[in-house]
Structure 1
Amino acid sequence: MSPKGRAPRPARPGRPGAKRAQGAGAAKRARPKPARRAAEAAPASEPVALEPFRLRYVEGATPAKWIRAWVDRMPQRLEHELVAEEQQLDALRAGEADAAIVRLPIDEAGLHVVRLYDERAFVVVPEDHAAADLESVVVADLADESMIARGTMTWSELVEVVASGAGIALMPQSLARLHQRRDVASLPVADLPPTTVALVWRLERDGDDVQALVAITRGRSARSSR
């Protein structure tokens, strides 16, 4: 007997039936529901492929750093193609390009236009010309010269005509540098207005991908807002 005169209560026998029922319930709960099993067995959906972004750029434009930035930031593949100045808007107007880097002036009707940078006007002269060794000239220095109009010639053909000694020609700095030859010289014309290179796209084509390209061309970081 205990110190208080009472015998300790014997331990109650276990309830095997209840234990089995509990175990069966746990097993039942562990079974996945049919809907869940079907969801787990379903294959993962394929990611939606994005259409490539189509960019055209005019001869003399320098989009290489912007193309690299696009590749680093954007999930879309970028298709880019060089076009002649006479055709710089053709693909855009036809819906075959999403944006274009062009040389102004252009017909801006129906287009968004973002000016990117200006180019100085250069004159290209034969290598033995009196101005060939100068750092720059002004328009008055060219008053008595035979100025060659490009007409339907390409810029390369125009420079070739200058090299023949037939006259001199005006063109944007990038084109003068692009088509530089040993038998010609190019130098800035200090008092001529510059030409402007711009990014353009159709009004109805505006979207996040176009705005991403605008941000890239303006030097914004990947995290900056518009």
Structure 2
Amino acid sequence: MTASETPDAPLSFRLAYVPGVMPGKWVRIWGERLPGVPLDLAQVAAAEAPGVLTAGDADAGLVRLPVDRDVLSAIPLYTETTVVVVPKDHLVTAADEVSLADLSDEVVFHPLDDVLGWERPPGRPAVERPATTADAIELVAAGVGVLVVPLSLARLHHRKDLTHRPVTDAPGSDVALSWPQDAHTDLVEEFIGIVRGRTVNSTRGRRQDAPEQRRGERDDARRKPAGGEKSTGQKSTAQRGTARKSAPQKKTGGQKGTGQKSGARRGRPGRRS
């Protein structure tokens, strides 16, 4: 029984994901491969995701690193580009990309739900830290300062009056698939296979009896052609035996016929005398 299965509820898989992460592709593949197992999605704040997993409120999660590796397993998936979000008429937009040094004179918001884990945030600090990234975006739109975030969050909070540019030397945000170490279930392994791009025929993460079943099928396939080959071989042997028996007759007949013709040639001069 998995973490998400109870005697009174159908089998299901609960997946938590943090803002900015788009699990749609993997959810679609899950539905194609395991149509009888519902996948329940729950968006949680990045800071809350590890606690949701350790509490057993989700079977796995698409989270932002780091996580506590003593209690959670994690497979890094990708590292996001970091961008600075600015008004469309900001001087930063004159360049294709910027560095942290280019932002040294800017008020750079550092919201309480920041996911970049700065040792020292760039630029000049704001008078007060915004509570959320969404609040910081509103302040950027008001022309009060700028915001440095992963690209996915800039897209999530897109506004027509704002744009963004890559920050070449800013830390990136690592996204990972994570789950409790003591709850590595069959369904978790199925989802690991999906995010890693395993094919539906892959043996990893499948039922333990699946390889035995496949070996049995291969053995059956071998036995069927073997029987056919034996039968064909017996017929061929009989045919070869028949061919060997008939071959001398044809050869002898040919020699006898040749002898008759030779005798006829030898007898013709005698008749002329």
Sequence identity (%): 41
Summarize the alignment of residues 61-210 of structure 1 with structure 2, pairs less than 5 Å apart.
Answer: 61-74=21-34, 75-151=36-112, 153-210=131-188
1:134 to 1:180, Cα distance in 2 relative to 1, 3 A:
farther
Tell me the distance in 1 between the aligned counterparts of 2:9 and 2:52.
23
Shift of 1:111: 0.8
Task: Compute the displacement of 1:191 (Å).
Answer: 1.9
Q: Does 1:215 align with 2:211?
A: no
TM-score, normalising length: structure 1: 0.74
How far apart are 1:106 and its partner, in Å?
Answer: 2.6
Q: TM-score when scaled to structure 2?
A: 0.62
Contact 2:54 2:72 (C-alpha < 8 Å) held by counterparts: no
Q: Secondary structure at the match of 1:175?
A: helix
Residue type of the alignment partner of 2:82:
A
RMSD: 1.7
Post-superposition CA distance 1:80-125 (Å, at most 9, x none): 1111222222321211110011011233321110011110111111
Could you list the per-position Cα deviations for residues 122-177 of structure 1 after superposition, in whole angstroms to 9, with x for gaps in the alignment? 11112221012432111121122111110262221111111111111110010011
Gaps of 5+ in 1: 1-47
Secondary structure at 1:86's aligned position in 2?
A: coil
Aligned length: 179
- Which runs of at least 4 in structure 1 moved beyond 4 Å after TM superposition? none
Higher percent of residues as helix: 2
Aligned partner of 1:166: which letter? V
Residues 54 and 71, structure 2, Cα contact 8 Å, conserved in 1: no
Gaps of 5+ in 2: 1-7, 114-130, 205-273
Classify the secondary structure of the residue corresponding to 2:109.
Answer: coil
